[in-house]
Amino acid sequence: MEGPIRCTQLSARYWYDYTTRQCGAFWWRGCLGNANNFESWEECQTFCAGIGPIERKTTTEEPPPMPIPFDAPTAAPPSQVQPQPVRHDPELEHQYPRQQYHPQSMEEICRMTVDSGPCANYEDMFYYDSFSGKCHPFIYGGCGGNLNKYRTREECEARCSRFGADRNEDLMPTPDRRYGGAGPLEPVKVAPIPVDQAPRAQHPLAPPIAEPPSSHSRGPRK
């Protein structure tokens, strides 16, 4: 007898959400699933852009009466509530535009900056900070954001710790790179200070430091 199917080849893929009419990212384990699975955001948009929920046909015919269970003489048929599709909010799209960068590898995902997303369904999750080389907790809004988010610290470390940190002694992160952007690391340029112009520390109770004689000064007259 064959054992259960194990799908362990994780990769970043994209799916179409007809309620918001947008493509979103998800983790695919490499097998099973359905056809709503695309290798890139562009491919997802090409196949599915503009497709909304299927409209139900309206009819004037009365539905057939539901049989009442013999052991529940007072039971009544449940009310038929039609689900309401989630409407797309243009204002939300304006405030939180669609992400333009789509990662192609696990390393690129781990080096993405933390993004809580536009929603307010607060969830405790973890992200990988490529500058420190560690996983840190953050509050995820429940939608949007990027793939650099994990349920547990162990999951975050298992996927990203092998890539190490982005540290370089000659480079310092700009605010855009560290806190929400994709700006490059800029080298810090420090101009050398001449020795004769460098400030010298002096104790407040110590006698003043005598200035060295200038090369142009003349000796005492005889």
107 and 167 belong to one structural domain: yes
180 in any annotated domain = yes
Helices (H), the chain: 41-48, 90-95, 106-110, 153-160, 175-178
Q: Residue 123 pLDDT > 80, yes or no?
A: yes
**Structure-block tokens of residue 44:** 């997802």
Instruction: Give strand pairing partners of 16.
Output: 23
Is 128 in a helix, a strand, or coil? strand
Same domain, 108 and 180: yes
Residue 85 falls within a domain, yes or no? no
What is the domain range of residue 48?
8-52
Q: How many domains is the chain built from? A: 2
Q: Which residues pair with 135 in a beta bridge?
A: 128
- This prediction's pTM: 0.38
Same domain, 44 and 105: no
24-61 burial string, b = 16+ CB within 10 Å, else e? bbeebeeeeeeebebeebeebbeebeeeeeeeeeeeee
Tell me how far apart the alpha carbons of residues 10 and 28 are, in angstroms, rounded to a whole number: 6
Q: Which residue has the higher pLDDT, 147 or 205?
A: 147
**DSSP symbol at 1:** -
Q: What is the mean pLDDT of the chain?
A: 66
Looking at the fold, whether 48 and 112 belong to one and the same domain comes out as no
Is pLDDT of 136 > 90? Answer: yes
**Does the residue 172 lie in any domain?**
yes
47 and 110 assigned to the same domain: no
Check whether residue 106 and residue 174 sit in a common domain.
Answer: yes
Q: Are residues 31 and 107 in the same domain?
A: no
Is it the case that residue 156 has pLDDT exceeding 90? Answer: yes
pLDDT band with cut points at 50, 70 and 90 for residue 53: low
Among 54, 60, 61, which Cα is nearest to 83's? Answer: 54
Q: Is the pLDDT of residue 222 over 70?
A: no
Query: What is the residue type of 45?
Result: Q
Residue 72 lies in a domain: no
Q: How many CB atoms lie within 10 A of CB 67?
A: 8
- Gap between the Cα atoms of 193 and 190, Å rounded: 9
Looking at the domain assignment, is residue 67 inside a domain?
no
User: Is the residue at 219 inside a domain?
Assistant: no
DSSP-derived secondary structure letter, 45: H
Does the residue 218 lie in any domain? Answer: no
Q: Are 118 and 45 contained in the same domain?
A: no
CATH of the domain at 14: 4.10.410.10
Specify the 3-state DSSP secondary structure of 77: coil
> Residue 61 domain-assigned?
no
Same domain flag for 48 and 110: no
